[in-house]
């Protein structure tokens, strides 16, 4: 049966801003406390039904006049351990994420990886809201468990409100320098041009109701019903992570955003060399919290999953699959599925004889983000591919260099550079810029190119 699914809402931001704890508060669980070192280990996906939000946010629903006006069934939240994960949520022409929550620490503003997330959100055209978290850290703030922000702010002493306004003002300034108009959500006049900022505390739960309601409003206004309509056909999704699991072999964690995936299905996905065909042996999903007896007993096996959902696939032939690759279940012609996946992957890569830099990244998702970002920065790309820099990359960069020295460079994102390639690059006068933050790699390249010209 076709129907409207919940929007997929990805939660992004700098390390330690409170993404996991915020989601945890939303679910009313203690998942964050079970994670080693409190760092997100897996792509966690959790469904929050609208009914629960309405019960939780009660009086605020009325104050914002939203009662009876929400038609999304809820949210599917995806927690991410970093911006690379957001990149891998790719699909042709955009992101699997329908909306994003950019979490920042209200006391420190936008930090390095927050900025990176913001760049990626904008490059992929995903509507977003900002959670200004750690509200309870505002000096003099009087907290009350789970109170909506709008009610809480009315009860504060003037100096706490002044502090809050100062921090939010700083964040607004910071965003405005990046060309983004933003304001405290209750002061936003036009959601089409201004990004709402919702002060939250993942510790006290204050502002969480506001965040959910604002996110619902933004989702309904900026995500089309067509995009949220699921079909009954074969599954379509994206690979987030591939790893070896003891006793299971190679497993792939994927997000299915359309259709149905069944045990026994043949799927087509992709690796470095092109399309890969695999067979689904098992489907594993996290257990609902009430069925979980102890923290070890976290998963269950199912026969089928329906979009939108996060699922772990145990399969034959998944070795070598690269994150960010599309995954489609085959119904009918295998050849056609292989061709479609092949074309999609080819569209992410670049192979040309034009002058421009060489781009290398660890996954299809990060590569696509990188190419998008380079285009926006008006840097031409001669060649773009997944994997560490190789002999061929140095040769291509050296060819580009002959026409314009500024293009004799390899930009390597999230990949290691083999020592022999490093040496070869040096002797051919090819510059290798490496890093884990995309905009910094690009900035460093531009600085180098400008110095050449000077
Ligand atoms: P990564 O997954 O590592 O990127 O971090 P994260 O963004 O998921 O942050 P996490 O939820 O793990 O929280 C990091 C730390 O900040 C923990 O010690 C939390 O207790 C603390 N923290 C998170 N939210 C709040 C908040 O609203 N107020 C206060 N005071 N502390 C918070
Ligand atoms: Mg986390």
pLDDT of 96 strictly over 90: yes
Task: State mean pLDDT over 389-413.
Answer: 97
Q: What is the structure's pLDDT at 81?
A: 79
ipTM above 0.95 for this complex: yes
Residue identifier of the C-alpha nearest atom 31 of ligand 1: 134
Q: Phi, psi at residue 184, to the nearest 5°?
A: -55, 135
- Cβ–Cβ < 8 Å for 9, 219: yes
pLDDT in tens, 32-51: 445 444 444 455 678 788 88
Q: Which atom of ligand 1 is nearest to the CA of 40?
A: 2
Confidence of residue 289 (pLDDT cuts 50, 70, 90): low
Residues 6+ apart with CB under 8 A from 289: 27, 29
- Look at residues 226, 202, 256, 247 and name the one whose alpha carbon lies nearest to residue 76: 256
- Look at residues 378, 454, 447, 367 and name the one whose alpha carbon lies nearest to residue 412: 367
Q: Phi, psi at residue 295, to the nearest 5°?
A: -60, -25
Q: Which atom of ligand 1 is nearest to the CA of 24?
A: 11
pLDDT of 422 strictly over 50: yes
State how far the alpha carbon of 77 is from the alpha carbons of 31, 167, 399, 426, in Å.
14, 27, 46, 45
User: Which ligand is closest to the CA of 19, given by its number?
Assistant: 1
Q: What is the structure's pLDDT at 35?
A: 46
pLDDT of 317 strictly over 70: yes
Residue identifier of the C-alpha nearest atom 30 of ligand 1: 134
Q: Residue 29 burial (CB < 10 Å; 0-12/13-18/19+)?
A: middle
Q: Which atom of ligand 1 is nearest to the CA of 81?
A: 2
pLDDT in tens, 179-236: 999 999 999 999 999 999 999 999 999 999 999 999 999 999 999 999 999 888 999 9
Q: Which atom of ligand 1 is nearest to the CA of 17?
A: 7
Query: Which residue among 11, 17, 139 is best mutated to probe the pocket of ligand 1, counting the most ligand atoms within 8 A of its Cβ?
Result: 17
User: Which ligand is closest to the CA of 132, given by its number?
Assistant: 1
- Look at residues 337, 321, 342, 322 and name the one whose alpha carbon lies nearest to residue 275: 342
For ligand 2, a single-atom ion, the residues with CB < 5 A are 19-20, 40
DSSP category for residue 234: B
Q: What is the structure's pLDDT at 32?
A: 46
Cα Dmax for the chain: 69
- The kind and range of the H/E element at 261 are strand 260-262
Q: What is the structure's pLDDT at 40?
A: 46
- In this structure, the number of other CB atoms found within 10 A of the CB of residue 161 comes to 16
Rounded Cα–Cα distance for residues 7 and 127 (Å): 11
Q: What is the structure's pLDDT at 53?
A: 87
pLDDT above 70 covers a percentage of the chain that reads: 93
Rounded Cα–Cα distance for residues 155 and 162 (Å): 13
Rounded Cα–Cα distance for residues 199 and 366 (Å): 30
Rounded Cα–Cα distance for residues 219 and 221 (Å): 5
Cα 139 to ligand 1 centre (Å) = 18
pLDDT of 30 strictly over 50: no
Rounded Cα–Cα distance for residues 328 and 254 (Å): 11
pLDDT of 416 strictly over 90: yes
- The H helix count followed by the E strand count for the chain is 13, 25
Task: State mean pLDDT over 123-146.
Answer: 96
- Cβ–Cβ < 8 Å for 120, 395: no
Q: Report, as residue numbers or ranges, the catalytic residues.
A: 83
pLDDT of 335 strictly over 60: yes
Q: What is the structure's pLDDT at 384?
A: 98
Q: What is the structure's pLDDT at 387?
A: 95
Cα 18 to ligand 1 centre (Å) = 3
Cα 319 to ligand 2 centre (Å) = 28
Residue identifier of the C-alpha nearest atom 12 of ligand 1: 38
pLDDT of 425 strictly over 60: yes
Confidence of residue 15 (pLDDT cuts 50, 70, 90): very high
pLDDT of 67 strictly over 80: yes
Task: State mean pLDDT over 70-85.
Answer: 86
3-state secondary structure of 420: helix
Pocket of ligand 1 (CB under 6 A): 13, 15-21, 32, 38-40, 81, 133-134, 136-137, 201-203
pLDDT of 333 strictly over 90: yes
Cα 130 to ligand 1 centre (Å) = 16
pLDDT in tens, 291-303: 555 666 667 899 9
């Amino acid at each position: 049966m076709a129907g409207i699914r919940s929007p997929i809402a990805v939660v992004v931001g700098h390390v330690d801003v409170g993404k996991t704890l915020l989601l945890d508060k939303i679910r009313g669980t203690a998942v964050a406390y079970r994670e080693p070192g409190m760092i997100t280990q897996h792509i966690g996906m959790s469904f929050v039904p609208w009914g629960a939000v309405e019960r939780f946010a009660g009086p605020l629903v009325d104050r914002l006049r939203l009662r009876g006006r929400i038609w999304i069934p809820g949210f599917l939240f995806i927690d991410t351990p970093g911006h690379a994960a957001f990149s891998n949520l790719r699909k042709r022409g955009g992101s699997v994420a329908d909306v994003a929550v950019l979490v920042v620490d209200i006391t420190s503003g936008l930090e390095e990886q927050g900025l990176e997330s913001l760049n990626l959100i904008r490059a992929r055209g995903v509507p977003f809201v900002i959670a200004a978290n750690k509200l309870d850290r505002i000096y003099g703030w009087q907290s009350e468990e789970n109170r909506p922000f709008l009610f809480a702010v009315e009860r504060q002493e003037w100096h706490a409100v002044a502090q809050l306004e100062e921090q939010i003002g700083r964040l607004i300034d910071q965003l405005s320098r990046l060309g983004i108009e933003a304001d405290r959500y209750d002061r936003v006049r036009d959601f089409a041009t201004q990004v709402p900022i919702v002060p939250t505390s993942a510790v006290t739960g204050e502002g969480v109701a506001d965040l959910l309601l604002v996110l619902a409003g933004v989702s309904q206004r900026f995500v089309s019903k067509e995009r949220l309509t699921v079909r009954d056909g074969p599954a379509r999704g994206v690979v987030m992570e591939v790893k070896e699991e003891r006793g299971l072999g190679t497993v792939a964690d994927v997000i299915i955003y359309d259709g149905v995936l069944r045990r026994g299905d043949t799927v087509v996905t992709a690796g470095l060399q092109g399309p890969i065909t695999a067979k689904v042996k098992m489907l594993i999903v996290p257990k609902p919290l009430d069925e979980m007896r102890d923290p070890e007993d976290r998963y269950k096996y199912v026969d089928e999953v329906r979009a939108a959902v996060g699922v772990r696939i145990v399969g034959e032939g998944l070795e070598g699959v690269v994150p960010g690759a599309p995954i489609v279940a085959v119904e009918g012609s295998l050849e056609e599925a292989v061709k479609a996946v092949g074309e999609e992957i080819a569209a992410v890569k670049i192979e040309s004889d034009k002058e421009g830099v060489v781009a290398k990244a660890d996954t299809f998702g990060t590569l696509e983000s990188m190419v998008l970002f380079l285009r926006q920065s008006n840097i031409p790309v001669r060649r773009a591919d997944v994997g560490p820099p190789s002999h061929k990359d140095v040769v291509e960069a050296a060819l580009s260099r002959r026409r314009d020295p500024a293009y004799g460079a390899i930009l390597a994102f999230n990949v290691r550079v083999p020592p022999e390639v490093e040496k070869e690059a040096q002797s051919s006068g090819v510059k290798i810029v490496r890093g884990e933050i995309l905009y910094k790699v690009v900035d460093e390249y531009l600085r180098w190119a400008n110095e050449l010209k000077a």
